[in-house]
A = this chain, B = another copy of it.
Amino acid sequence: MAVTDRALQGVTVLELGQIYNVPYCVLLLANLGAEVIKIEPLTGEPARQRAGGQDATPFVMLNSGKRGVCLNLKSDKGKELFLALAAQADVVVENYRAGTLDKLGLGFEVLHALNPRLILASGRGFSRKGPHRSLAAMDLTVQAMTGVMAATGFADNPPVKAGPAFADFLGGVHLLAGILAALLQRERTGQGQHVEVAMQDALLPALASNLSALIDSEGALPERTGNRHGGLALCPYNTYSAEDGWVAIFCATDRQWLSLCDVLHRPDLRADPTLQTNPGRAKRMDELDGIVGEWTGARTRRECLALLGQAGIPAAPVLALHEVLHDEQIEASGMLRTIQHPRRGAMRVFGSPIDLSDSPRPELATAPGLGEHTRGVLRDRLHLSDADLDALQSEGVI
């Protein structure tokens, strides 16, 4: 097998993506070797227009390796051009509001009649099977309506959203898996199909522990427990303030508790018969958290982690975001790379978490400027002349 073989070699993807959900899905398709054409309205997709002109930071982070084409899909000629591209493509991916593609006359039936091998993939907020099928969805509202907020935060504080956009991203990567499964099925059937993933459906399984605790305790446990164990069954288990930040520490086993007593120089606790097991320690959670916190409070995170690590006690630093940006492990993983952007200079962009031993990740070009490849793509794929392109431009189609 040639070293340059890639999993999705020869696969052409048309992206009609917005913000995070589908753009992330398609970024991973590009990393797997697909050829990606991102189609945007003439004013660009919404993520472009945040701070930074047409090259907003999150847009640049999530759109490497795509060619950028502007097409007015509300015009008849724009639709025609899109259909001509779709006739040659393997996958169309979109996350417009439910029903939008149908209203444009570009829904699955139309695409399937044109190109029976084409796969249409749709990122949604809520499942088409339920009453919220047409509800506009944003990461915040999906988190609110799926229990993520209820399960996050301190018990005596309000529910709080998870900071990262987990609904968008979990939705996007499930959609990626659906596309790949449909491509596999096509190998046997020769037919494309319609793939749909709702962000809410993609979020829910991550609540397995939280929902289980609720069911098993018949509602006796609090919905959220801050950084304590979800079942309030393990102790110590928390984050503790150090001189320069926070440290997460937990004792998964009773032996780790005894080791922790040694690290803390507390033979009295070590010998205390009421503290030998987790149920006993859990009864004195506030007191023990206080003792551990006093110890961490007098040290830096590095000092804490060195002593805990030597003793075999699970612990981790709570990294600040600026530390994440320069973390040695993340740097080495290739997940945050520095590229030179033609307009914005040095920028950090995402790599791909999917590591395939025989499908080397291509060096992806910088996210496209608005309409950067409109003429090139239409010339190469649809054989339009410069005169054709000039006319389309003056008509507001491209």
Contacts and interface: CB of A to CB of B under 8 A. Distances in A.
Interface of A: 1, 5-9, 20, 24, 28, 32, 51-52, 56-58, 61-62, 108, 126-132, 136, 138, 140-141, 144-154, 157-166, 168-171, 173-174, 176-178, 180-185, 187-189, 191, 193-198, 200-212, 214-216, 219, 223-224, 226-227, 230, 239, 241, 246, 248, 250, 314-325, 327-336, 348, 350-351, 353-359
Contacts of A193: 356-359
User: What is the copy number of this chain in the assembly?
Assistant: 2
Main secondary structure of the interface of A (DSSP, over half): mixed
- In order of increasing CB-CB distance, the 6 nearest A-B pairs are A151-B163, A130-B332, A127-B333, A162-B162, A180-B180, A201-B353
Nearest to A196: B355
Between A56, A180, A203, the greatest number of chain B beta carbons within 10 A of the residue's beta carbon is seen for A180
A208 B162 contact: no
B189 A320 contact: no
A211 to B, nearest CB: 6
A333 B203 CA distance: 13
A309 to B, nearest CB: 10
B127 A148 contact: no
A57 B212 contact: yes
Given A152-B163, A200-B330, A353-B202, A191 B1 contact: yes
Contacts of A108: 357
Contacts of A171: 353
A204 B335 contact: yes
Between A127, A316, A320, the greatest number of chain B beta carbons within 10 A of the residue's beta carbon is seen for A316
